[in-house]
Amino acid sequence: MKTLVLTILFALSLSLGSFTPSSDGYEVGDYATNFDLKNVDGNMVSLSDYEDAEGFIVVFTCNECPYAKLYQDRVSELNEKYESKGFPVIAINPNDPERSPADRYENMQARAEEKDYTFPYLVDETQEITRAYGATNTPHVYILDKEGKDKFRVAYIGAIDNNYKDAEKADKHYVQEVVDALLNGQEVPLTKTKAIGCTIKWSNA
Amino acid sequence: MKLLIILILALIGGQSLFAQEIEELSFEELNKRIRSDNETEVLVVNFWATWCKPCVKELPYFDSLQAHYPTKKVKVVLVSLDIEAEAAKKYRERKNIQSEVVYLDEVDHNAWIDRISSDWSGAIPATLFVDNSGQEQFHEGELSDEALFSQVNQILNLK
């Protein structure tokens, strides 16, 4: 009888185990890995290409997701505002193009051209960088504070602002507040937020 | 008189042909519904959207739950996070969804995601299971029909 109870408890604990979410990826304060990923223009882009950068606004985003689309102009505006100040935007498409054909390389090129992206829009073919960072959905922002050559401290993880439908009505501009604080040498007000987005389409292979 | 009755019946019958609006709830309203229901043995709250492929894939499993447990108080609430309620409404009609579908009328997701579960990254699909003692289990990501039914079975058998 006791064995039976134990077996049941064990089975229970196993099935409940699947309810524990994975906590892979970076936390704020961790050092993020550099990368070397292919841009829509065919060139490889690495964080170390930006010698004068103070940091980066890394945005995991994609072509297809409605939330990503609602935010794409805001991502462009972030680059316009902060690239010259030393915080360029780097967009990374994490999706497996097999599972999400809208995110194929040629479709990314088309989107970048149509939307006049002034920032790199990179492919994470192996999804290794996405996994290392721990991005879960699109759009998902990681703000990196450059502390030295190839030393990129994660200063913020989360959403762009607090109104996905209407940028005009957002009254908390999380990313801007963080970058402004970093540029002014102030403490970052909020280091982590959550945002609904589309799940990253991981390769089945 | 007979004609009048027929006419009235036809009108009433005709009404049901018109699509019912989807209830649009604030998070507070939704939260109240989820957390003050101590009648239902298993309340299954699934967060989805019509544009989310894994969500619509698993939706039929959720929609079959209530009918699967005719003697149990199992209730399913499908919370649409679509950009417009209209999308969820049309989808419900097209797929003839029987479970309750509500639209969450919130734009600041960061303000409420943690209140469903602090384990939730914000990606959908995501599902919250609540039993009538208020015990909660949260699952982020897709569920197979086996996993969903075994989860509900488990909660029912625990009593």
Residue A120: count of CB within 10 angstroms of its CB: 21
Residue A199 pairs with which residues in a beta bridge?
A137
Identify the DSSP state of B73.
-
Percent pLDDT > 90 in chain B is: 75
Q: What would the two tokens of residue B135 be?
A: 């015990």
Q: What is the pLDDT of residue A15?
A: 39
Listed in sequence order, the residues at least 6 apart from A15 whose beta carbon sits closer than 8 Å to its beta carbon are B150, B151, B154
Across chain B, what does the average pLDDT equal? 89
Give the integer Cα–Cα distance in Å for A121 and A142. 15
Pick from A138, A172, A152: nearest CA to A28: A152
Q: What is the pLDDT of residue A4?
A: 53
Asked if this assembly's ipTM is beyond 0.90, the reply is: no
Q: What is the pLDDT of residue A24?
A: 78
**A165 at the B interface (CB within 8 A)?**
yes
Q: What is the pLDDT of residue B6?
A: 59
Model pLDDT for residues B16-71, shown as the tens digit of each residue: 445 678 999 999 999 999 999 888 999 999 999 999 988 999 999 999 999 999 99
- Residues of B within 8 A of A197 (CB-CB) are 122-123
Q: Cβ of A199 and B83 within 8 Å?
A: no
* Residue of chain B nearest A20, judged by CA positions: B139
3-state secondary structure string across chain A: CHHHHHHHHHHHHHHHHCCCCCCCCCCCCCEECCCEEEECCCCEEEHHHCCCCCEEEEEECCCCCHHHHHHHHHHHHHHHHHCCCCCCEEEEECCCCCCCHHHCHHHHHHHHHHCCCCCCEEECCCCHHHHHHCCCEECEEEEEEEEECCEEEEEEEECCCCCCCCHHHCCCCHHHHHHHHHHCCCCCCCCECCCCEEECCCCCC
Quote the distance between the C-alpha of residue A144 and its chain's center: 11
Give the integer Cα–Cα distance in Å for A98 and A95. 9
Model pLDDT for residues B91-104, shown as the tens digit of each residue: 999 999 999 999 99
Pick from A138, A113, A111: nearest CA to A124: A138
Q: Cβ of B122 and A65 within 8 Å?
A: no
Per-residue pLDDT of chain A (205 residues; tens, 9 = 90+): 555 554 544 444 433 333 333 447 999 999 999 999 999 999 999 999 999 999 999 999 999 999 999 999 999 999 999 999 999 999 999 999 999 999 999 999 999 999 999 999 999 999 999 999 999 989 999 999 999 988 999 999 999 999 999 999 999 999 999 999 999 999 999 999 987 788 899 998 7
**B51 at the A interface (CB within 8 A)?**
yes
Q: Cβ of B121 and A165 within 8 Å?
A: no
Q: What would the two tokens of residue A67 be?
A: 């939330």
Q: Tokens 């999400």 — which residue?
A: A100
**Which phi and psi (to 5°) does residue B61 adopt?**
-65, -45
Q: What is the pLDDT of residue B37?
A: 83
**B54 at the A interface (CB within 8 A)?**
yes
Q: What is the pLDDT of residue B19?
A: 61
Q: Tokens 């919370």 — which residue?
A: B79
Residue B3 pLDDT level (bands cut at 50, 70, 90) = low
Give the integer Cα–Cα distance in Å for A104 and A70. 20
Could you tell me if A24 and A131 are in contact, meaning their C-beta atoms sit under 8 angstroms apart? yes
* Residue of chain B nearest A64, judged by CA positions: B51
**B105 at the A interface (CB within 8 A)?**
no
